[in-house]
Structure 1
Amino acid sequence: MENQTVSMDILLLERLQVTPQTSTIAFILLLLVYIFILVSNLGLVALIFRTRSLHQPMYLLLCNMSINDAFGATIVIPHVLRDVLISNSERYIHYFCCVIQGFCVHFHASASHSVLMIMAFDRYVAICNPLRYATIMTNSMVVKLSVAAWAVVFIMVAILVGLSVRLSRCRRVILNPFCDNASLFSLSCESLIINHIYGLSYTVVLLGSSMGSVTLTYLKIAYACLRNKNKNLNSKALQTCATHLAVYIILLVSGFIIVILHRFPQLSGHRKVASFLGHVALPTLNAVIYGLQIKEVRKTIKAVFNNNKVSQMNVKR
């Protein structure tokens, strides 16, 4: 009986569809992408905290997203990197580690929505109430919004994963390259009605509040821009909003693709790739889209390239 319990605590993971011939190439590419995600996102956070001119609510809220993206990539990519190179028989994970990973995966995805919601609110106040912006978006308000964004998501995800942990297990194969809530409750042979009800409610509340708040915010911003006859201010407002909206649409589309693919078991291979890319492509694109918008980032990149050119010329001489 003890051996059976130990056996059920060791789970087997499915791997990405990578052939032995391309596994080394896939490993190198994933490693380079992971390094880029860490350097770009954490470098962005360091630059914002180091540069006093960037100590503004918009950029301080951006730190939340960059930290969340680095966190989300770290939860998934190193584990997949290990599994790309090892044999099928060695791709195992302890149940406790699987639960932690599943919690972190959903926490990262949900926090992405909550952080973008408060960033949309920041843009709304800046454009629709510019004279009151400094009094509304104080440092205290930024901290409160950030804490609320993380705390609410933490509670929602804790309940989501907790409902799966309470179930007994009759299977030990995770049909995914990494653990998530669906993988956890799929290990059970018990009734999953409560899990499905809460999971659906969780999705509706998260996506409904996210889409509703962002849509309402941008409708009000559009109305304010139409009333404002200053083309320069409208152009600057639309530029900052376009960046935020592009990131949000990418997040929303990737989320819907994964949810839709979950409904088609015959497309499980595509779902695995889509869910994995969500933890690779989004953190990469977010850092690039937002990073290049900040003048200090562009200046730093130009300075690096100029220094490289100067050093190369000196070496040639």
Structure 2
Amino acid sequence: MENQSYGFSFQLTLDPFVIPPGGKYPIFLLGITIYLFGMSCNLALLMLLILKRNLHKPMYFILFSLPLNDLIGITAMLPKILSDIVTETQNTYYPLCVLQAFLLHMYGGGILFILAAMSFDRYVAICMPLRYNSIMTPRMVTCIISLVWGLDFVLILLLFCLQTKLPRCRSVIMNVFCDNPSLLKLTCGNITVNNIIGLFNTAVMQAMSVSIQAYSYVKILITCLASRKSETKTKAVNTCVAQLLILVIFEVVGTFTILSHRFKNVSADLQKIMGMLIFLVPPLLNPIVYGLYTAEIRNNLLSVFKNRISF
């Protein structure tokens, strides 16, 4: 078995949840409810940003990427797991596994780059309000969005190009979903380069995102403290709190996920659940956080509901 090399389309076996008798359908119903709720919230935010002309501003053009990224994450993760639970299927094909892993890693990197882009926009708006329109031109916004998605795609593509060229001699994914670490465990080759590239990608994504956000929010804080206008302070709080909350949610859930794999007394099923949370919690909470803390989105959403009710 150890010397066997599989082709690109070979079949893999996933390590399923241990589900008690009679628990299959309740778990499925819970999962499909979570999925539909997350899809509805993010699609509603996307449609609002598309249809409401007063939201066609640089800030919201950049924000558009966030619910789009969340839809990628939750869709790449949950439907396949729910399908496997109901059908009691434990198998998947290698190309599908690679595609799922690629999309999940794109989602993770995407959040970091999108939040960095959004913090830069708020920095310009609050610290350089008179120059905002001359800096955040349509061309500049297009470049920022292209850089966010392009850099994320290139870094993840590099990681998976190296991974798919490795010889494979195992066929069991020790998880309920596919990710790059799980795929690397299938190989019988030297994965030193892959580990280095993986660490490099993580370091680049985290360093770029955190440094841009830290710089932006420190400058915003200084500007607010120096300003005597209460309007400036209120605007900064309303527009930045949501972004900071989303970052905290992502980082806290990610930290718990990592820690769950570091303690031996954590059960395998709990580790799997913790691994799923990073792809489920942010897509569920991000649109709610933005709806609560961003006045323009909240007011537009309320106006839509009022029009529906009056109609």
TM (normalized to structure 1)?
A: 0.90
**Matched residue, 1:163:** 162
Instruction: Map 1:1-317 to 2 at 5 A.
Output: 5=6, 9-87=10-88, 90-264=89-263, 267=266, 268-292=268-292, 293=294, 294=297, 295-304=299-308, 306=309
How far off is 1:18 after superposition? 3.2
Q: Is the 8 A contact 1:45 1:66 kept in 2?
A: yes
1:280 is paired with a residue of what secondary structure?
helix
Q: Residues of 2 paired with 1:111 and 1:131: CA distance?
A: 30
Q: Once superposed, what is the RMSD of the aligned Cα atoms?
A: 2.2
How far off is 1:8 after superposition? 8.1
Q: Residues of 2 paired with 1:197 and 1:282: CA distance?
A: 28
Q: Residues of 1 paired with 2:48 and 2:157: CA distance?
A: 33
Q: Residues of 2 paired with 1:100 and 1:7: CA distance?
A: 12
Q: 1:17 to 1:216 in 2, by over 3 A?
A: farther
Q: Residues of 2 paired with 1:81 and 1:47: CA distance?
A: 29
Unaligned runs of 5+ in 2: none
How far off is 1:162 after superposition? 1.8
Deviations 1:234-288 (A, max 9, x none): 0121121011100111111222232333444653433311221221111010011
Percent of aligned pairs with the same amino acid: 34
Equivalent residue pairs, number: 304
Q: Residues of 2 paired with 1:265 and 1:184: CA distance?
A: 22
How far off is 1:302 after superposition? 4.9
Q: Is the 8 A contact 2:5 2:168 kept in 1?
A: no
Q: 1:260 to 1:207 in 2, by over 3 A?
A: farther
Deviations 1:93-126 (A, max 9, x none): 1011111111111011101111111000001001
Q: Residues of 2 paired with 1:15 and 1:123: CA distance?
A: 44
* Partner amino acid, structure 1, of 2:181: A
TM (normalized to structure 2)?
A: 0.91
Q: Is the 8 A contact 1:8 1:169 kept in 2?
A: no
1:11 is paired with a residue of what secondary structure?
strand
How far off is 1:184 after superposition? 0.6
Deviations 1:224-243 (A, max 9, x none): 10111111220121121011
